[in-house]
A = this chain, B = another copy of it.
Amino acid sequence: MKIFNMSKPCFLTANEAIELIKQRKLSRYEWVQSCLERIEERENLTKAWTYLDIEGSLNQAKKLDDLNNDKFGIPIGAKDIIDVSNMPTQMGTSFYKDNIPKRDAASIAISKDAGCIIIGKTVTTELGHRHPGPTTNPHNPEYTPGGSSSGSAAAVADFMTPICFGTQTTGSIIRPAAYCGVIGYKPTYGDFDKSGILPNSPSLDTLGLIARSIDDIQMMRNILLEEKIKIYESIDLKKFKFAFVRTPYWEEHNDECTKTELEKFIYELTKLKYNILEENLDDLILRSSEIHTNLSGFEFKRSIAADRINHFEKLSEILRYGRLTDGNKMSLQTYRKLQGQLEENRLKIEKRLNKYDCIITPSAPGEALKGLEFTGSPMFNTTWTLTGMPAITLPIFKSKNNLPIGCQIVSRRGNDEVLLGIGKKLIKIFNQNEK
């Protein structure tokens, strides 16, 4: 993405804009204003936002300009299941219009404290499940942006903000980011705190980030962790072992374009003498899917008890007869057993992948689906969420319809910094090959 050439600040990544602010070539106010103008220009079509605090955001930017310290006023959007004080948390429903928290989610408080400006709340599917919101894909409004972090992916892809918060319980960051052609990052389970975020399936729920550059993800990761963690600027990919995992869905569910592009990419990497082996995890991936359905069903049914009990009639059919039905089939005893099976399955996967530093696998089955009714399948994400392994989607392929297709890379739990470094390098290699 050659966005540096574009004229307006909204097209910059956060790191690029911060560099200009440091050089006094851009003010925080101009940056935020440019994002808000972009939203004004595009929101009618993209519909990424459920709430915007225009005046408040500009005022904060002005204040930070006056202070002129290392708080750079990074404009950020938060998925609307994350509490931001004095903005409604509607969670993709019709019945929480006046649900205005007084307390920021931990991630929000930490970001604000580091000089981020939360300009508004982005569209989520209903309660973070499957029923879609109005958001369209910025690359073509006839296509879904994916979900559940629909608005976050679309807003970043449409240059409305450089960074948004998303959450993932199955494939809710990686898939929309892939469909919208941006970078989606689901960290190791537990790396980012979840206080103040609607729980879906607490054993799996992961707060993550969507951005247009790995640098921005690395910066936000350090902000959220409140510590300076080593950032891998340049990595020698020859030192790492890669597994190419097609998954059992490759033949039947993947479209031709994803197959071709991904295989071509693997071939290029092999030519460059990178250490890549194909690894078949079909049995464990299928088992993951089974475990995930039942476990997340049970936990989801409980997490959203207030909504199903007090607002049942206002919930979508897909929710009532989807995950809620999965949950109703389960008992505490089955759930307990399942937790043991999850652990067993995770250990098996970790053992099989032990010799690799990084897995390369599809982000989603092909390009975004046409129509806004379905946000697509998370089949290529389930295993990595269930095991708590960190995952990124890199926006490096295009479909025949000129829609983005992502390449997902995954690593061991706790290996996020290396994964981000690998991702940065892979994007560079791909862009060089493209030239």
Residues of A within 8 A of B (CB): 85, 96, 98-99, 101-110, 112-113, 190-191, 193-196, 198-199, 202, 225, 227, 229, 299, 302-307, 309-310, 331-332, 336, 339, 414
Residues in B neighbouring A194, C-beta threshold 8 A: 199, 202
Q: Are A103 and B306 in contact (CB under 8 A)?
A: yes
- Copy tally for this chain in the complex stands at 2
- A99 to chain B: closest residue by CB: B102
Complex formed: what's the CA distance from A198 to B229 in Å?
A: 28
> A80: shortest Cβ distance to chain B, in Å?
14
Residues in B neighbouring A196, C-beta threshold 8 A: 306
The prevalent SS among residues of A at the interface is: loop
Q: Are A306 and B227 in contact (CB under 8 A)?
A: no
> Can you identify 5 A-B contacts, CB atoms within 8 angstroms?
A98-B102, A99-B101, A108-B306, A113-B309, A190-B339
Given contacts A191-B332, A194-B202, A227-B332, contact A105 B306 (CB under 8 A): yes
Q: Are B195 and A106 in contact (CB under 8 A)?
A: no
> A87: shortest Cβ distance to chain B, in Å?
14
Q: Are A104 and B332 in contact (CB under 8 A)?
A: no
Residues in B neighbouring A103, C-beta threshold 8 A: 96, 99, 306-307
Q: Are A309 and B227 in contact (CB under 8 A)?
A: no
Q: Are B195 and A303 in contact (CB under 8 A)?
A: yes
> A40: shortest Cβ distance to chain B, in Å?
30
Given contacts A99-B103, A102-B99, contact A195 B108 (CB under 8 A): no
Residues in B neighbouring A310, C-beta threshold 8 A: 104, 109
Q: Are A332 and B106 in contact (CB under 8 A)?
A: no
Complex formed: what's the CA distance from A302 to B309 in Å?
A: 31
> A288: shortest Cβ distance to chain B, in Å?
20
Q: Are B106 and A304 in contact (CB under 8 A)?
A: yes
Q: Are B199 and A305 in contact (CB under 8 A)?
A: no
Q: Are B113 and A225 in contact (CB under 8 A)?
A: no
Q: Are B302 and A195 in contact (CB under 8 A)?
A: yes
Q: Are A193 and B109 in contact (CB under 8 A)?
A: no
Residues in B neighbouring A299, C-beta threshold 8 A: 193
Complex formed: what's the CA distance from A8 to B166 in Å?
A: 53
Residues in B neighbouring A191, C-beta threshold 8 A: 332
Q: Are A332 and B225 in contact (CB under 8 A)?
A: yes
> A304: shortest Cβ distance to chain B, in Å?
7
